[in-house]
Amino acid sequence: MKKLAIACDHAGFDYKELIKKHLEGKFEIKDFGTFSRDSVDYPDFVHPAATSVENGENEFGILICGSGNGVQITANKHQGIRCALCWEVELAELARKHNNANMLAVPARFVTEELALNMVDAFLSTEFEGGRHQNRVEKISFC
């Protein structure tokens, strides 16, 4: 069973719980928090989740906050992370197909629960195309 990291802030807590339930039995899920709707600082949860994907402990990661921006920016500070902020299913598919994204950022305040689940499903079921995209992905890591 593939391993998946998941993390959120207070604005993403309800969606995190929904996504975990939706993926139950399909993935081995490591929940990095937060574990309530109490206000928190998202980097405290995103950095450990991103590190786990970066070091191969988890294959993919799902991050959720109000806008998706904060979690995405934080995750992308990690050298081995390609985190895509998505608000449509096609964007989630293209993030995997063309960019080999390994983390998905979901903007809980801007997408419905149904759309969030559809994006997660698309992201996790879409394979990287490689080919002409491989060289581009290799150029992403600058250092």
Catalytic (active-site) positions? 65, 98
The number of angstroms, rounded, from the C-alpha of 43 to the middle of its chain's C-alpha atoms is 14
Please give the C-alpha separations between residue 135 and each of 10, 25, 100, 102, in angstroms, as whole numbers: 38, 35, 11, 17
DSSP SS3 for 12: helix
Distance CA 12, CA 14 (A): 6
